[in-house]
Every structure is written in structure tokens, then in C-alpha cells.
Amino acid sequence: MKELEAKISQAGSLEELEKVRIELFGKRGVLALEFAKLKDIPNSEKKSFAEGLNRKKGELQRLYEKALARLKEKRIEDILKSEILDVSLYGNLDRKGALHPVMETMDRIIEYFIAMNFSVEDGPKIEDDFHNFEALNLPKNHPARDMQDTFFCRDGKLLRTHTSPVQIRTMLEQKPPIRIIAPGAVFRKDYDLTHTPMFHQVEGLVVQDKGEVSFANLKYILSDFLQYMFGDVEVRFRPSFFPFTEPSAEVDISCIFCRGDGCRVCSHTGWLEVLGCGIVDPNVFKAVGYKDVSGYAFGLGVERFAMLLHRIPDLRMLFEGDLRLLEQFR
Ligand code: PHE
């Protein structure tokens, strides 16, 4: 008996304890054998023998329950120790996704301008006439409004046709000097090889109240930016027109496919048009209540950059979600 008590409290595992339990309490266990002795015991002693045995059985049972509880807890602790889950470990790398080529291109553009000390601004995609047109020197009935085919909402609002309204919002909220870019989606009624109804632009705006901003400043930063994006290319500025800049220019790079010799992509001109820019028109400053300031602005289409950088022949492919295209950008 004493030996069995010791076995109960010394059991090192649930399995060991189970063996001891069967040895003690089982049908042919030690206790059963003791109780079997009852029948050979003289009647006068039966009662005290049975009482003593039951007391002993009770004690052993309590001892057993205690050991069981202790070993169950130990089992849980062991499991917790041996099955540590390191949530910081990498999972199945094969299924890792990737940035969409448009977003990857956008990030590269943003990185350049952040390094040049620009900050990033955001604006609503559902705009009103004032921010998208009026304040940008595009009064009602101005013929230049036809340059952009607009999606109008029922309540008179519209889907912004460019990121230029963020220029207006920023100037209305902040004081000069201003040095921002505004990346984001824009919308136009257009659908062909080089146009989709939704695409992305990055707008840039620099405004100074001290010292004049010149076209040379604009030319320098855009040339440097385009060489950062496309490598060793030639950059040329062509006179153009935007209602919100004067003078305005369109910027070309020498064709990255034929290096200027002329090919199908550059329509045999040797040049690829990549952005629009100019010196901010005084009427724009008037619309936001700015006085004695000067500034430059530029705007570019991110998909056009992505197409050129990755030689994607049809802009619409970027939005079809075809994995055969997307998997090439893992
Ligand atoms: N907003 C013009 C466009 O969408 C681009 C642009 C921005 C041109 C700023 C000049 C200055 O085409």
C-alpha cells in the first residue's frame, strides 16, 4: 500500500499514472483483492476491516485526483513549450503577391519627388466645377474644356479629369511656399490603345513668395526626373497650351526604343511625349487669393510611364487583371 501511495505521487506522466490507477483501483487491482479478503474475515471484525479499507480507498482516490490534476497541467505546459508558433517566420513565399506595375511606377515617381523635398497631397475624386475647371482658368463655355471629356454626376459634381484640382485645394488650405505632388486616379471618357476611362496622374506644384520661380527651375527638375526614370535620354520642351499655365510646354524624351532613329512606338518622330508643364497662370493665383507669388506646375500620366518602362503595347491590358501579364511583375 505505502509503496502504491508513493507511486501515485511520483508518477511522471499521465500514462504512468494510468498504470498505477489500474494497479490500484482496477477490477483485479490491489483494492479489489483487499475487499475480496472480507469474506474470509470473522464476522466480528468485518465491520472495522471494511471501514478501514474504505477510508484507505478514499485517501488513495484523493491522492490520485491531485496527481491527475498536476499531470494534466504539466501536459499543457509541455505542449505549449514544444509547439511554439513563430508568427514572425515567413510563410509560403511562392504565393507572395506583387505591386501592380502602375503602382510600382507611381511609387518610383513619388520617391523621386520626396527626395527633392516635395510633400504628397491628396484630394477627392468626385470634384466640383470650381476646383476642376473654374479656378484653373477654365471658365464656363471655355473651348479648352472640350480637351477633356468629363463624366458628370447628377448633382452637378463630376469625376475629376486631372489631378490639377489638388493644386487649388492645397493653395486654398496652405500659405506659400508650397512644394507638393498629388498622385491619384483621374477619369475621362476615352477608350483605345493609349486611353482608359480611369488612369493615374502625378501633379506637381511649386509656389514661392520670395524670389521668383523660373522656367529654368522647372526645366532642370523635370529633366533630372526624366533621366532618373528613363536613364540616359534626351529631353526637349515644346511650346504648348494649358489654361492654367503660361507659358506652357509639353515635354518629350528621345525614344527609348529606337534611341531617336524613328520607330512605330514614336510614330517615326524619334520623340515620346511624357508630360505637360508650365509657369502657373496669374488667373489661377487670383482664384485662390494669392498675391506676389510665382510658381510652376506639371502633370504626367503614370500608365504612360509604366507602358514605356515595361514595353506594354496596349494600355488597356493594365486593367484587365490578366495574371499572365501581372505574374511578370512578381
Ligand atoms: N492637368 C494637365 C492634364 O491633365 C496636365 C498639366 C498639369 C499641365 C499641370 C500643366 C501643368 O493634361
Domain that holds residue 13: 2-82
Query: How close is the Cα of 203 to the center of ligand 1, in Å?
Result: 7
87 belongs to a structural domain = no
**Cβ < 6 A, ligand 1 pocket:** 162, 164, 203, 242, 245, 276-278, 297-299
Judge if 186 and 253 occupy the same domain.
Answer: yes
Q: 241 CA to middle of ligand 1, Å?
A: 10
CA of residue 250 to ligand 1 center, whole Å: 9
| Structural domains in the chain (count) | 2
Query: Taking Cα atoms as reference points, which of 243, 308, 254, 309 lies closest to residue 276?
Result: 243
Give the pLDDT confidence of 22-37 residue by residue, as tens digits: 999 999 989 999 888 8
Is residue 66 in a domain?
Answer: yes
Same domain, 70 and 150: no
Whether residues 160 and 70 share a domain: the answer is no
Asked whether residue 26 is domain-assigned, the answer is yes
Judge whether residue 218 has pLDDT over 70. yes
Whether 46 and 183 share a structural domain: no
User: Sign of dihedral through CA atoms 23, 26, 31, 37?
Assistant: negative
309 lies in the same domain as 164: yes
Domain for residue 89, yes or no? no
Distance 201 CA to ligand 1 centre (A): 9
Q: Does residue 289 register a pLDDT over 80?
A: yes
User: Which residue CA neighbors atom 7 of ligand 1 most closely?
Assistant: 299
Q: What percent of the chain has pLDDT over 70?
A: 98
Q: 76 with 107, same domain? A: no
- Tell me the pLDDT tens digit for each residue of 78-109: 999 888 888 888 777 666 778 999 999 999 99
Percent of the chain having pLDDT more than 90?
67
The confidence score (pLDDT) of residue 148 equals 64
Q: Are residues 76 and 120 in the same domain?
A: no
Does 194 lie in the same domain as 67?
no
Ligand 1 atom nearest the C-alpha of 147 is 12
